[in-house]
Structure 1
Amino acid sequence: MLYFSRWKTIAIWVVVALGVLVSIPNMLSQQTIDSLPSWMPKRAMTLGLDLQGGSHILLQVNPEDLINDRLEATRDSIRTTLRDARIGYSGLSGSNHAVQVRIRDSSQIDAARTALEGLTAPISTSLFSAGSVSELALDEPEQGLFRLTLTDAGITYRTSSAVQQSVEVIGRRVNELGTTEPIIQRQGTDRILVQVPGLQDPQRLKDILGQTAKLTFQMVDQSVPVQEAISGRAPAGSTVMYSTDDPPVPYLIENRVIVSGENLTDAQPSLDQRSNQWTVSFRFDSQGAQRFGQATQQNVGKLFAIILDNQVVSAPQIREPILGGQGQISGSFDAQSASDLAVLLRAGALPADLTIVEERTVGPSLGEDSINAGKLASAVGALLVVVCMLVVYGKLGVIANIALAANVALIVSLLTLLGATLTLPGIAGIVLTMGMAVDSNVIIFERVREERAQGRSLVQSFDSGFRQALATVVDANVTTLIVAAILFYMGTGPVRGFAVTLGIGIITTVFTAFTLTRWLVAVWVRRSRPKEYPAGLVHYLPLNPTIPFMRWRNIGFALSGLVSLGVIALVAVTPFNYGIDFLGGSLIELQSKNGTADAADVRSRLNELNMGEVQVQEIGGDGALMVRVGTQSAGDNAEQSVVAKIQGELGAEYDFPRVEVVGPTVSGELAWTSTVGVILSMLALLIYIWFRFEWQFGVGAVVSTVHDVIVIIGVYVLFGLEFNLSSIAAILTVVGYSINDTVVIYDRIREMLRRYKKMPLDQVINIALNQTLSRTILTGLTVLLALFALYFFGGDVLASFVTAIIIGVFVGTYSSLFIAGPLLILFKLRPATFDKDADAAPGLPAGTQPSKS
């Protein structure tokens, strides 16, 4: 294991060198990166919104709009088809996803059926495996009554097409704003994710995205006064619409569309020199110019309306034919609103209304603070871990620290190459990985120490230590990788960023432990030719302690049972402090412009806005407040109204560095997916450990892990910590750590069972726990050092997240020692299970005697 051919040595150092080279731009300023030679990598990780500010908005297409539009189109198609076939009909109406019509003359029923069947012809699409989909299904519930029903496949197709078209339209709109590196992508079947980093004016983005921008030019119906149409009944073919003025002015508008926005080729803001007012100049394509020219030629002296999203922008009088295909839209515009309208018209109309179901906005100043906090926490955490390894392992600690530095470089380089977005939880993932990365080296070094204590030469000890530690390290890290994968699959946003970082860190940790660390050890042994295992500055634990863990197992079971029952009782009588991720609602951070914030005044003013439950609390001592508003019963759009009301009420005195809005639709889904994520992680771990060990090990690991989850939940309830998506990430991180710890112990128990087949099970488990105790303590110590650095220097955003993990490390260590191992006795694990794999047993560990029974 300590021999390396030349090509392996070259391959290891090429990988490490490339990792360092690719990661370097992340530590340099943009100006320095631009000055680097052309052959040098210049790509850096993309910073998340929580690190550089910006907006995260999740939009949902309203399928009812699409269904209504399709029903209207179906009615028109039926009307046209039957008229062309000269078939009389009556009762043409639509409801409940269907349109029905009755044929007057029974002799024309067969002809009508043939004509209407043409409307059910499949349309071609690449979205379905069959290559086509039928949008309408024809049936005849009674003689002469035909019903055309929208099919589920047709609705799905229309929704999918609308989402794809919306992505393109939104992309054009956002790019028109001049932002850099926006992320616009489809999410699920009916949603669109929009992330715009570094955006200074998130409200403008919401205004741009929230408008359908369906532009039409229609004639004003002047046959009857508009007030008569409002109080009575509007003439057939006309509808009352209102202007964008304040107060709005009513107009009676003909339903017939002269020209639509689809015929626009350009739109630009312009300043009218005569009136000194801002307008929007537009230009039609040839077809639109022809239609517009004919309409204005035939209606000189009449009014025509320019309508945007069913609101009249202006209704000028046609004084003369407009034949050039150009015109102006005038209204109460300023430079910004004229520019925004031009952006909307150039980008095109959305095929359906989009609802903002989730919004998370971070100001650039808050993002900069998060970057500084993340850098400081990373530096302190790394320093503490490095010092710890030096103190404990001496020269081997130097090797472990070199491998750790290479490990971090590889993590950063892989994140860079994958184009991953670095978030604040992602930084937490890197810091946590630094703490856990040394675990592999600790397992190896402690194994080497054991082999040396049994009388092997130092070279043999290193060789055997690396070989025997391989399976343990792989099993322990695969279980954590499973949790990271589920966290990535079930999580969103920053939580997913944490999962990506943790998962990549696990892979690079295993690579560096069994390639770079092994190579460095081999070179050190070959050149220095040491005679003894190098000692650290402190001797923290004897090699084979004899702590009677199994003697205390019943006490451990009783204590864990009482704590678990106590938590269940506490949860039954004490409500969770759910965050907006699960309850829905709005969370807005306020920063006083004059440095002084009055929470009571803000609370009083917001209560007068009739928004339901409002909580206001001070955060820090620099004029910052946190406002929480409960979810609104009126739905997702009402959540956005809350933010607008608060900004309108407090905008003159406060800035809004952070805004989070989660609608009831998303909050319910997040709660469900989080619950499923925890359950799936347990099942996946049960299956893996069962496969790698025996069923008793799998069930024991899951039971001890469920105990850890219960205790962590109890911590959240007892201390009133906010329970949100980050809490789920913290719980799953504790699950990964606890399982990692348990698997290391289980691996040693399995090894002991293979060696000492006649020894009582409780004695075997006790030996295994004592032999792995040094590793358990040291790994927990390094992880805690990294976590405490995050807690004290990572900022308030990570405080509750890290607190749960810190407590989880203690609880996970306890459960591995006093629950996971003893459960094997409770499940009556039989040593004979491992007879087929038994190896020749060397001498017993110091301080133990074989059983004579």
Structure 2
Amino acid sequence: MLYFSPWKTVLIWLAVLAGILFALPNLFSNTALQSFPSFLPQSKLALGLDLQGGVHLQLKLDRKELVEARLESVRDEVRRLLRAEGIGYTGLSGRGQNVTVRIRDTGDVAQAREILDPLTEPVAAGLLGGGIVREIVITEPEPSLFHVEITDDGLDYRMAQAVAQTVEVIRGRVDELGTTEPVIQRQGTDRVLVQVPGLDDPERLKELIGTTARLTFQMVDVSTPVEDALNGRPPAGTEVMFSTDDPPVPYLLETREIVTGENLEDAQAAFDQRTNEPIVSFRFDGTGAQRFGRATQENVGRPFAIVLDNQVISAPVIREPILGGSGQISGNFTVEGANDLAILLRAGALPLTPTFVEERTVGPSLGADSIAAGEIAGIIGSILVVAFMFLAYGFLGFIANIALIVNVILVIAVLSGLGATLTLPGIAGIVLTVGMAVDSNVLIFERIREERAGGRSVIQAIDTGFQRALTTIIDANVTTLIAAVILFYLGSGPIRGFAVTLAIGIVTTVFTAFVLTRWMIAFWVRRQKPKELPKAPITLVPSGTAIRFMWLRRMTFTASALVVLVSMALFATVNMNLGIDFKGGSLIEVQSKEAVADTGDIRSRLSSLNLGDVQVQGFGSDRDVLIRVESQGAGENAEQTVITKVRGELESDYEFRRVEVVGPTVSGELAQAGTIAVLAALLAILVYIWLRFEWQFAIGAIVATTHDVLLTIGMFVVTGLEFNLSSIAAILTIVGYSLNDTVVVYDRVRENLRRYKKMALPDLLDLSMNQTLPRTILTSLTTLLALLALFFFGGEVLRSFVAAMIFGVVVGTYSSVFIAAPLLILFKLRPGALDRDDSEKAATARTQAVDLDAG
């Protein structure tokens, strides 16, 4: 296996060169990249909102509003069709998804059935519905009575249409802002996701995309005083609307719409030449110009109203016919307000009023701090890992470090090539990959040492070490990859970024550890022809170590069982510090514009806003404050009101660095998705280990991993750390790491079962534990070094996530030795092995195996 043909060598280094070329653009500015030759890769990693600042919004369209609008539309259509044919009817009403109408004359029933029948014609849903959809079904429960029912399939089709139209309208509005690379996409059946990097004015964006912007032109009814309409009932065909003035002015308007915003061809912000005030000039298309011209020609001297979202913007009097198809809207606009209204009118109206169910805003200053913190943590973590590998393996550690550097380059190259977005959890994934990538090299090097201690030559030891480590490397990394894949499909936002980074890191780790490292060692062997393996400056686990782990199993089982029971009891009785991801509410990070933030003053100022439970605490430096406001429990829009009130109270003295708002709908979905993610990961890994090993191994691995998950949850309860969406990612990564460690141990147990067929199972497990102990300690220490760098230098946002990871690594290492392995005895892995009376033979076999291991 140490021979590499020339073409294999070329392919290996071409892959490394390609990785360097795809990663290189990240070192240059966009301006510098323009001077690069066109054949070179120029795509860079896109920075997530948490690194460069920006706004993440999730909007929900209300199905109930769609039903009401569709019901009114169908009712009006039924009325129009019957009136057009002069058919008398009574009792026309709508309720739920049904419109009911009774035909007065039984002789007209057949004709009514005929003219209403076109409503039931199916529509081709195309890509939106995937086939033919029947929107309307008409039944006659009794003579002369028609039930016109709107079907669920029809509503699903209309909702799909509404979501698609909303995406396009919002895209048109956001593009007008001139922001770079916004993301506007459909999410689920009734949601739209909007991400705008680099935007520092979330309130303007919310107002811009949350406004329905339905523009109508309607005549003002001057035949009846508006006060009479307010005190009584408006005359038929009229309605009362209020202006945008303060205080609002009521107007009595005809419900008939002269023309709507759908007939607008263009709208631009401008200035009135007489008053120099900001206005919005507009121009109708041909149909709109004709309708507007005819209406103004017939109503000279009467006022007409320009209505936006059921509010009167202005109500000028028609002095003369407006036949040119253009006009202007005035209404005490600011320059920005006029520009925003023009954007809204150009992009068109939204089909339904959206509700903001989730908001995550990161200010540019916090984004810059996050980038700096991530870079520092990455550099420190890498230096610690590189130094530790050299101390543990000497020259072989130097080779492993080259492989690690190439590994990171390949991860960045793949992310850049895919056009992926790098988030703060993504940086954590890269740093964690650096720590976990050491595991494969450690497995190989420890195997090589064992084979050399067993009497093989250096070349034979290296060759056999790589061969025997391959299966363990694949098994160990596949379990982590399963967790990453499930995290990607069930996670959202930055968590998916973490999963992508981790998954790519696993694949590149296998390549660099088993292909690149093997090539470099083969090259060294051919050049140097060594007689002995390189010596390491330090030895963490002396050769010949024979710790009796299984002798301790009763104590460790008892202790672990007690701790797990305590964790479950605490979880059931003590309220976990759930973040807003799971219980809804608002989280706001502010930074004082002065020297020091006054938390007491903030608390007293916010307590007067009647927001319920408000928590104010220091966060990081003495200028930073974290504010948590409980869920308002009054619908999705109530959470947005919280942010508006807090901004109004604190914006003059504090910079808003981060805002997260999660409504009750999203929080419930996130909690459910997180639970499903953990259970799905455990189930998938259970099946994999069952197929690769025996059922005892699969059950043992799941029990040990469940032990780790329960203890980690107990840690969150005891420490009071916030449990949020990132914590689910931490738990799933712990699942992968713990199983990685357990699979390595189990792989050695399986190998020794074949080698020592008559050795007592406890003795065999002790032997396996001692043989894998150097790898267990080295991998845990390198991973902890990377995580500690993140904990101390990665910033406050990641601290709870990394703390859970550190705890998980320690507990996972413990469980793979003291829980997973002893469970094989409990499950009677090899029946009869414990009942042998020949203890002397067992002791002799153990002594021989230890002596062989010690060389």
1:345 is matched with 345
Taking a change above 3 Å as real, the CA distance of residues 290 and 358 of structure 1, as seen in their structure-2 partners, is same
Residue by residue, what CA displacement relative to the aligned partner does 1:486-527 show, whole Å, maximum 9, x if unpaired?
111111111111111001100110111121111111111111
Deviation at 1:845?
Answer: 7.4
Whether the 8 Å contact between 2:790 and 2:802 is mirrored in structure 1 is yes
2:629 is matched with 629
Residue by residue, what CA displacement relative to the aligned partner does 1:255-274 show, whole Å, maximum 9, x if unpaired?
11111001111111111121
Residue by residue, what CA displacement relative to the aligned partner does 1:204-236 show, whole Å, maximum 9, x if unpaired?
111101101000111111121111101100111
Matched residue SS, 2:578: coil
**Distance in 1 of aligned mates of 2:104 and 2:130:** 38
Deviation at 1:831?
Answer: 6.8
Taking a change above 3 Å as real, the CA distance of residues 79 and 129 of structure 1, as seen in their structure-2 partners, is closer
Deviation at 1:41?
Answer: 2.2
Q: Which deviates more, 429-438 or 583-592?
A: 583-592
2:168 is matched with 168
Supply the AA of the counterpart residue of 1:709.
V
Matched residue SS, 1:495: helix
Whether the 8 Å contact between 1:219 and 1:304 is mirrored in structure 2 is yes
Taking a change above 3 Å as real, the CA distance of residues 570 and 761 of structure 1, as seen in their structure-2 partners, is same
Whether the 8 Å contact between 2:303 and 2:317 is mirrored in structure 1 is yes
Whether the 8 Å contact between 2:296 and 2:320 is mirrored in structure 1 is yes
**Distance in 2 of aligned mates of 1:844 and 1:90:** 98
1:641 is matched with 641
**Distance in 2 of aligned mates of 1:130 and 1:645:** 45
Residue by residue, what CA displacement relative to the aligned partner does 1:135-155 show, whole Å, maximum 9, x if unpaired?
112222222221111111111
Deviation at 1:832?
Answer: 9.5
Deviation at 1:91?
Answer: 0.7
Supply the AA of the counterpart residue of 1:757.
K
1:303 is matched with 303
Deviation at 1:202?
Answer: 1.5
2:467 is matched with 467
1:700 aligns with 2:662: no
Deviation at 1:130?
Answer: 6.0
Residue by residue, what CA displacement relative to the aligned partner does 1:575-620 show, whole Å, maximum 9, x if unpaired?
0101110111111112222233222222112111111111111223
- How do 1:194-205 residues align onto structure 2 when only pairs under 5 Å count? 194-205=194-205
1:5 is matched with 5
Whether the 8 Å contact between 1:757 and 1:831 is mirrored in structure 2 is no
2:414 is matched with 414
Supply the AA of the counterpart residue of 2:798.
L
Whether the 8 Å contact between 1:23 and 1:409 is mirrored in structure 2 is yes
Taking a change above 3 Å as real, the CA distance of residues 621 and 377 of structure 1, as seen in their structure-2 partners, is closer
**Distance in 2 of aligned mates of 1:536 and 1:832:** 42
- How do 1:502-521 residues align onto structure 2 when only pairs under 5 Å count? 502-521=502-521
2:837 is matched with none
Whether the 8 Å contact between 1:362 and 1:657 is mirrored in structure 2 is yes
2:258 is matched with 258
- How do 1:425-436 residues align onto structure 2 when only pairs under 5 Å count? 425-436=425-436
1:208 is matched with 208
Supply the AA of the counterpart residue of 2:90.
S
Deviation at 1:78?
Answer: 1.1
**Distance in 2 of aligned mates of 1:778 and 1:596:** 44
**Distance in 2 of aligned mates of 1:214 and 1:561:** 63
Deviation at 1:10?
Answer: 0.6
Whether the 8 Å contact between 2:358 and 2:662 is mirrored in structure 1 is yes
1:796 is matched with 796
Deviation at 1:467?
Answer: 1.0
1:193 is matched with 193
**Distance in 1 of aligned mates of 2:330 and 2:130:** 49
**Distance in 1 of aligned mates of 2:635 and 2:540:** 59
- How do 1:499-648 residues align onto structure 2 when only pairs under 5 Å count? 499-648=499-648
1:94 is matched with 94
1:404 aligns with 2:404: yes
Taking a change above 3 Å as real, the CA distance of residues 129 and 71 of structure 1, as seen in their structure-2 partners, is closer
TM-score by length of 1: 0.97
Supply the AA of the counterpart residue of 1:100.
T
1:78 is matched with 78
- How do 1:378-389 residues align onto structure 2 when only pairs under 5 Å count? 378-389=378-389
Whether the 8 Å contact between 2:481 and 2:506 is mirrored in structure 1 is yes
**Distance in 1 of aligned mates of 2:231 and 2:638:** 30
Matched residue SS, 1:445: helix
1:156 is matched with 156
1:738 aligns with 2:738: yes
1:672 aligns with 2:672: yes
Whether the 8 Å contact between 1:240 and 1:252 is mirrored in structure 2 is yes
- How do 1:198-237 residues align onto structure 2 when only pairs under 5 Å count? 198-237=198-237
Q: Which deviates more, 478-487 or 619-628?
A: 619-628
Deviation at 1:762?
Answer: 1.6
1:817 is matched with 817
Whether the 8 Å contact between 2:58 and 2:193 is mirrored in structure 1 is yes
1:684 aligns with 2:691: no
Deviation at 1:456?
Answer: 1.2
Matched residue SS, 1:543: coil
Residue by residue, what CA displacement relative to the aligned partner does 1:743-786 show, whole Å, maximum 9, x if unpaired?
00111111111122222222221111111111000000100010
Residue by residue, what CA displacement relative to the aligned partner does 1:372-405 show, whole Å, maximum 9, x if unpaired?
0100100011111111111111111111111111
1:293 is matched with 293
Matched residue SS, 1:594: coil
**Distance in 1 of aligned mates of 2:358 and 2:411:** 30
Matched residue SS, 1:268: strand
Matched residue SS, 1:507: helix
Whether the 8 Å contact between 1:139 and 1:146 is mirrored in structure 2 is yes
Taking a change above 3 Å as real, the CA distance of residues 207 and 849 of structure 1, as seen in their structure-2 partners, is closer
**Distance in 2 of aligned mates of 1:529 and 1:150:** 82
Whether the 8 Å contact between 2:546 and 2:850 is mirrored in structure 1 is no
**Distance in 1 of aligned mates of 2:106 and 2:760:** 91
Whether the 8 Å contact between 1:544 and 1:845 is mirrored in structure 2 is no
**Distance in 2 of aligned mates of 1:9 and 1:516:** 9
**Distance in 2 of aligned mates of 1:754 and 1:143:** 84
Whether the 8 Å contact between 1:138 and 1:148 is mirrored in structure 2 is yes
2:839 is matched with none
Residue by residue, what CA displacement relative to the aligned partner does 1:105-146 show, whole Å, maximum 9, x if unpaired?
223333333332321110112136762101112222222221
**Distance in 2 of aligned mates of 1:634 and 1:790:** 39
Supply the AA of the counterpart residue of 1:170.
I
Whether the 8 Å contact between 1:543 and 1:771 is mirrored in structure 2 is no
1:36 is matched with 36
**Distance in 2 of aligned mates of 1:831 and 1:216:** 83
Contiguous gaps of at least 5 residues in structure 2: 834-843
Residue by residue, what CA displacement relative to the aligned partner does 1:265-293 show, whole Å, maximum 9, x if unpaired?
11111111212211100000011000000
1:662 is matched with 662
1:839 is matched with none
Q: How many residues align?
A: 841
1:274 aligns with 2:274: yes
Supply the AA of the counterpart residue of 1:609.
L
Supply the AA of the counterpart residue of 2:330.
S
Whether the 8 Å contact between 1:425 and 1:497 is mirrored in structure 2 is yes
Whether the 8 Å contact between 1:546 and 1:847 is mirrored in structure 2 is no
1:119 is matched with 119
**Distance in 1 of aligned mates of 2:739 and 2:27:** 34
**Distance in 2 of aligned mates of 1:243 and 1:253:** 12
Taking a change above 3 Å as real, the CA distance of residues 253 and 832 of structure 1, as seen in their structure-2 partners, is farther
Whether the 8 Å contact between 2:579 and 2:722 is mirrored in structure 1 is yes
Supply the AA of the counterpart residue of 2:218.
Q
**Distance in 1 of aligned mates of 2:831 and 2:459:** 32
Matched residue SS, 1:797: coil
Supply the AA of the counterpart residue of 1:571.
F
Whether the 8 Å contact between 1:443 and 1:775 is mirrored in structure 2 is yes
2:840 is matched with none
**Distance in 2 of aligned mates of 1:674 and 1:244:** 44
Whether the 8 Å contact between 2:129 and 2:160 is mirrored in structure 1 is no
Supply the AA of the counterpart residue of 1:563.
V
**Distance in 2 of aligned mates of 1:28 and 1:376:** 19
Supply the AA of the counterpart residue of 1:352.
L
Whether the 8 Å contact between 2:47 and 2:422 is mirrored in structure 1 is yes
